[in-house]
Structure 1
Amino acid sequence: MTPPQKAAPASQEAPRLNRQLCFAMYSASRAATAAYRPMLDELGLTYPQYLVMLVLWEEEPRSVRELGEELGLDSGTLSPLLKRLEALGFVERRRSAADERRVEVHLTGAGAALSARSTGIPQRLADAAGLSPAELDQLRETLGRLAAALHTPR
């Protein structure tokens, strides 16, 4: 018969999935994306396409490089997104008159009009989350600080 073993100190316990920040963020991200899906289906957009449109609704035209930097996407990911948005009639890609090497993304009339149809989406997501506006603001601020800290080279 083997003697009973003492429990390991908390600092030496095996990591638990439900205690991991990475899993909480992953799970919340998947849940938020799933909650957005039916709302974005009404607009004919995927979640990544919606993010591109949000940037363009704030300010356009934007260069492909600016969009990539703003969204944290490389050109291999962004180019197919833009092609699909162009095929849907929401954006146009054009060479800059000032610099032929620069490709700018412009909203079409249909793309600009889509903004008005999307205005209720943030509130619908907030309602689905069941969090107060203050809680959502605090969460967004905390996640922004976390992302900035993790993007900073050490």
Structure 2
Amino acid sequence: MAEAVSDQDDLLALERQVCFALSVAARGVVAVYRPLLEPMGLTHPQYLVMLALWQYAPLSVKDLSGLLQLDPGTLSPLLKRLEAIGYVRRERDARDERSLSVTLTVAGRDLRAQAEGIPPAVVERLGLPLTELQNLHEALTRVIAAAQPGQPRRPAPLIKD
């Protein structure tokens, strides 16, 4: 008969899984954004596209895909919807006809002023200290880098409390 393992000792305990915590946290945070983005007519993935374009436009679809770490097949419908609501324009790049360039329309550029209220509203709704959120962002950035294919892995020591 198998012996019961306490949650603290069980490596497969759901509550100990990084993937579970990240998944639940991501869904929760996106849900915080939803009512803030709705008046702008944006979904969270569309908001990420707009953030990239407000910072770097014009961008090729390839560069935008890399920047957002989204497959071009996932990005294309997002761009089509953003174009349909009048926030972006997709055009063939004059220097390379094979490449699509994404630019902001006037309405897309103007939307940035409204979006500036989103980060402080998210911080307020989460109710966490800004320094804690900044530390979380830094930790997640390290996790993202470590999870990239081809990154050298160094085994971390297992520390038990």
Gaps of 5+ in 1: none
7 and 45 in structure 1: CA distance in 2 versus 1, 3 angstrom threshold = closer
Q: CA RMSD in A?
A: 2.0
For residues 40-79 of structure 1, the aligned pairs below 5 Å read 40-79=37-76
Q: Which residue of 2 aligns with 1:138?
A: 135
Whole-Å Cα distance in 2 between the matches of residues 119 and 49 of structure 1? 15
Greater share of helix residues, 1 or 2? Answer: 1
Deviating 4+ runs (over 4 angstroms): 5-12
Q: 1:101 to 1:124 in 2, by over 3 A?
A: same
2:69 partner letter: G
Shift of 1:57: 0.2
Amino acid at match of 2:137: R
Kindly provide the amino acid, as one letter, of the partner of residue 52 in structure 1.
Answer: V
Per the alignment, do residues 131 and 12 of structure 1 end up closer, same or farther by CA in structure 2, a change over 3 Å counting? closer
Q: Which residue of 1 aligns with 2:92?
A: 95
Cα distance in 1, alignment partners of residues 93 and 116 from structure 2: 30
What secondary structure sits across from 2:24 in the alignment? helix
Pick from 14, 18, 22 the counterpart of residue 19 of structure 2: 22
Q: Hey, what does 2:115 align to over in structure 1?
A: 118
The TM-score normalised by the length of structure 1 is 0.91
- C-alpha distance in 1 between matches for 2:134 and 2:31: 21
Structure 1 residues 92 and 17: alpha-carbon distance in aligned structure 2, compared to 1, 3 A threshold: same
Identical aligned residues as a percent: 48
The superposition leaves residues 72-100 of structure 1 with CA deviations (integer Å, 9 ceiling, x where unpaired) of 11111111100000000000001111111
Unpaired stretches in structure 2, ≥5 consecutive residues: 153-161
Give the Cα separation in 2 of the matches to 1:23 and 1:148: 19
> Secondary structure of 1:106's partner?
strand
CA distance in 2, matches of 1:10, 1:84: 46
CA shift in 2, pair 1:21/1:95, >3 Å: same
Q: Pick one of 75, 79, 83 that aligns with 1:86.
A: 83
Conserved? CA contact 2:7–2:13, under 8 Å: no
TM-score for the superposition, normalised by structure 2: 0.87
